[in-house]
Structure 1
Amino acid sequence: MKCGGLGVKDIQNFGEALFLKIVWSLMADEDKLWVKICKTKYFPAVGYWRARNSAGASRMWRQVMARRDVFKEHVKWKIGDGKVVQAISQPWFQSWRVHENASARDRKLKVCELIDEHTGQWNMQRLQSLFQPDQIVDILNEDNKPEAQGMAKDRLVWHVAKNGKYSVKEGYKMMINRQLNVQTTHDFLWPMIWKCKNIAPRVKIFLWRLLKKGLPTGGNMHSRLPNFSPMCQRCHEENEFETHCLFFCHTSRQVWFGGQLGIRVHDLPLDINQAVQEIVSRLDEEGIRIFAYTLWKIWKERNKTVIERGNFQVQGVLKRICALLRPEVNQIQLIPTRIQCVDKYEVHKEGWQVILDASWETSGKIGTAYVVYQKGQLQSIGMHSAEVGDVFQAETLALSQAIDYVYTVMNIPTDTRIQFFSDCLNLVMAVNNGDSEDIPSWRATREVRRIIAAMELCNVGATLHHARREAVIQAHNLANSARREGLNLRGRVHWAMQQQRSINREIDNHYF
């Protein structure tokens, strides 16, 4: 009654709450006979969170699997003695996610094995070997610290309920709140989208279908046709719902990061309406237009990939998006005329190379870094922190700092062949095209012009190339450190070699 209406329960949401009770029992009541049967049949070697839909799975089991993401948002293990919960395979902290590449031994690792038996504190060395830095922060900040729990047993909790147990009443309340949040999101989004006169009607209709969850993604098709596979046909790793299809799939991530908005999507909400709202709320009208056309083009290319069984070419998609947004620009102009932009993803061991990257957060705080190599040998490293307006300005600043350092501090002759590598495709195209008009008006056009002028002084000595994230991972990790710790350091090989062990810890040397 608080939310309006006559107090009559919505039959669809009530039925969903009843079904979620089955899913809760599957996870919380492992001693029940039917739970043991399901575990033996569907996931004998892995936990529920790593289980996959088999070809002969029943319709009921497929429905259980389809609701796993809902539970991932609201359920976690409360750690006691840590002897029950598997650290890799079960959710027990806020940013937990499935670890696809974990070894069979690590998957069986208990939380108690991450605790130092002498001090009762977390074993930081073990945590760092298994989890990402953001996950370690969540583990250390959790209320269920090992020393605070004594000999209490681990237990599964539904954290939106006061007693920690799922009930149909709590489930129904959650479903109603989700529905109200979607309606509120629609009320916020549609005035912003419909007033954009430079968005084509077909794109607006696509956005309407997206927010109404009416697109024929694998997950939506599976809910209507049980024999239809819900698996993403590009990565074959996750069920294809709206957020995975348009944001979280690895090819979609690359499009967003390399596009004009430079968005990192890893921390977006799982709900498509909330994800769209979070992005749109930070954009002006022109930014909303770019965002809408990028979404639409990713969906069109996804359809082409699925129907024609082709490959999703990220750079081709980015070029088509650019042409779609600015039809007056000839596609041939995207081919560099002065400084070559190649589709090479590996940094080769020849001559001088500089890999660079920037780390940016929504508050405007950034970190930049560059790593200088000569014939594959580490020569120098630079790390800086600052505050700028957006991702593109951060990437531009990283390139500008790298150029200044190489030619003014290291005194490398301007006719020496030096290759600069960045994972920001938009920056590479802007510099190589020699025309800052390729950059939207709010971008750092002055800095781009300065970079172009600096590279012109080098004749053919300096070239800028696009490389994927793995090829610049060293600079990426250093930029993250510079942003978090506010570092401003740079040095030649005597200092750089001291840092090499730490920055190479998780790096595949194949790229260098």
Structure 2
Amino acid sequence: MANLINQFCAISGQTPNWSKSAILFSSHVSPNAMQDIKQIFPVSSLDANFTHLGHPLILPAKNRVLAYNFVLDKFLQKLPSYKANLVSHAARLELIRSVFSAIPVYYMANILFTKKLIAKLTAIIRNFWWTSVRQNDSTKSLCLRAWKDICNSKDEGGLGVRNLKAINESLILSAAWKLAKDPSSHLYLVLKAKYFPNASIWTATTTPPKSAFWASILKMLPKLKTHSFYQITQGNISIWSTPWCNNWSSIHEHLIPQHAGFVYPALVKDLWLPGQRIWNQTLIFSIFQQPLASIIVHTDIVDDEIPDLLCWDLTPNGICSSKSAYKLCLQDIHANPRHAPTVVPLDLKNLLKIFWKQKNMLPRVQTFAWRLLRKALPTGMRAGRFSIHISQMCCRCGQSEDEFHLFFLCHFARAAWFSSPWFLKADVLTQGHTTMHSVLIAFIQRNHPHGSIPNILNFLWSLWKARNYFLLDRNKALPYQVSIAAGALNLEPHDVLSGLSIKNQQVQHIPASNQLPLPGNSLRSDLLVVGPKIYSDAAFRTKKVPGLPPGDVAIGVGIYISLPSEQGEINIQIQASASSTSTPLQAESIALASATNIASRLNIMDATFLTDCLTLAKCAALANTLDPSIPWNIRKDLAIFFSNILQLLILKCFILLEKLMELPITLLTRFSQRISDLLLCS
């Protein structure tokens, strides 16, 4: 090894930095051997606290996560620089998203943290958002809403804070996906040589001793197997150790015993008819039992020359993104009733969605609205249940203080609502309502001249601030001053006008569509198309279909062909039912593939295919089924589309050659070169 290093230094002109180098000796190396090695390599011994790129290289065998306790220290070191008592909850929320949730990501990508460590990290973030209480303080934070509700998505009534456990699992799941996606990578080859030399990653088992990273990968393999599958194109994947069909993991349990000397097929293409991409049903039903044999013969085969694709069934493009992995891990966590968030009524979720979409509202007002509707405001009655030092009575009138009293029934709130510009009797607004969101929905539907969503929430926010100032003896505002404070929260009018002017400029710069656009774009009128036109459409129905069992999908395909001729236009209309699909996009792709099949059989050349699905048109314009933007469930139909288009193009070239046979040979050579270029482009 020393000679190799010396040769490398002589050739490259570089030399190792021995002062920054270290060597790790196992417990089986004798002290004399250590000294002999150190005389050859002048380096120090590697201690247990050595880190590389922030990661500890030596992990304790009994408790490996102890080496990552420094992540806790990083959290606690960040807290003093953010004085949470001086910033709003919206600002704390942004700090959590951009800073605290990002700190452990780098380390979580290599090992699954224990529940205890994640609980400590979560407690720091939770206390920071509620009351800015540090972990080593004796004061307990007043948490008025479960953290699992806050970590829920905004569409489901939460605040969209990332769950640390779900982040950790999704990062390891993404790493497992990358290993399975690229079996030729250096990391995959190293892990295979050490932990599964005679198997694939899909059939790998726990074999001690194992690294912390590989142990984490093994825990995420069940999720990877459940949602991964190979899209068969060439069939060059193993039948016995890859997810190529449903129930592939139990394929050995469905084998039919064969005679001695029978050689079982190894690859998927061995189950095809010779020279064709069609299942050999005779062979399959003689090898496999039911129902696996029927599952195999109904597995789709994509007619394309691209390699077999590993796909993720939770994303349209078949790629395991970090977002889809996080959603999957979060759903599995919520599947446990103990960790499931509170069910939010549909009308409340819709109202919160409307609030979050208000671009002309301050973030702190939006966060306040969430706390108000999710019962997370520290009113007297709610906060008084947790501490005897907090009075449950209103600081102004001495009555029990809940949301209804604070914002509508207190004499101060009633006076504020009755002042300009509202002129409303607040007690009338709450009659017949038991929840705050029902009051706001009814208020918005009253169509008050001043009753826009930003104005209502800004006014409620100002009432809340006036109550807090009065409670803390900072400022005793008058009722009419609440409307003035709420008006100051509105965006400046010129901001809205400037936004409108930008939109007007964008509209003015839209070019007139008087020319035929490129394939994959919207067409203003089909009158711009010259030549044969083929229209395809599909109907996707899931209910109210006579004779259709509940839960099933009915698919209808319609094709309309318009052929110009000397005698006039020839029209052909075709209607048919199709096999069940999972999405409307897949139904549209079946219609397009059927249209090209008909065009190929009728030898309709120079045709323009028209569809009302812009997504499908853009995918077809790519002319490449391997493109990552193409959804995996329409690749089979697009491969049929491309194959039929190519056949029509070749047929057109054959007709062109027949017409050119009477031309001189010099002209034929030029045309042959042009045709070969055309075929290559296709």
Q: Given the two structures, how large is their TM-score scaled by the length of structure 1?
A: 0.33
Q: Given the two structures, how large is their TM-score scaled by the length of structure 2?
A: 0.25
Instruction: Return the structure number with greater relative CO, CA threshold 8 A, min gap 6.
Output: 1
